[in-house]
Amino acid sequence: MATSAAVIKSCCSALMPWPLLALRRVGPDGHHPESRATGSLCKPISTEGADLGAIRGFLEAIASVMTERPDPFAALDRYFAAATIAHEYVADLHRELGALGGDSAHTRALLAESAAVVTDRMPAPTRELRQLRAEWETQNLLDPPRATRTLERAETRLIEAEPDLSLLRARQDEIVAEMLGLLEQAREN
């Protein structure tokens, strides 16, 4: 428990300016002495100002790291986690630009394009791969030989999808660089 708590706390502090949960020490019965009446293992703390998309992306990234998945599915999780985190960063930059009076139709278009990468443009080429992941998870428990064949198909589909995924991530990186440049200009004015 201590190792998992330390990893989660370090991930929270490294990736987000606000932690999602304040993990507490637990007694031998698995409960914190003060929370036995509620059965709570951890105390939620304020996430005021936190965007739900950022929280979801962060939790999915943690789940991806904590679960053992075969390479094609882990790679897919990494692409989606990276795209989600990049978009949340673009959204934060846009908010800061807005606070400085530097947002415009162009910055809103950049924000919308970044969002489209996560919500529309990445899911389309990976739809079959995500379906194969769901099949593999069931087959891995019930029919391991069939799961092996499904995994081979998934590896092929990932190889086919990777050029598109890499281009989408590269475009998000370009958007981040442009937004950072616009933010620097707005700060100078």
pLDDT at 189: 84
* pLDDT for residue 4 is more than 70: no
Q: pLDDT tens for residues 17-71?
A: 333 333 333 344 444 444 444 443 444 444 455 566 666 666 666 655 445 778 9
Mean pLDDT of the chain: 77
Q: Count Cα atoms within 13 angstroms, Cβ side, for 164.
A: 17
Structure tokens at 40: 């709570």
pLDDT at 52: 64
Structure tokens at 44: 């939620």
Q: Would you list the domain boundaries of the chain?
A: 1-50, 51-188
The structure's pTM equals: 0.63
Backbone phi, psi, residue 188, to 5°: -70, -25
50/33 Cα distance (integer angstroms) = 29
Backbone phi, psi, residue 24, to 5°: -120, 155
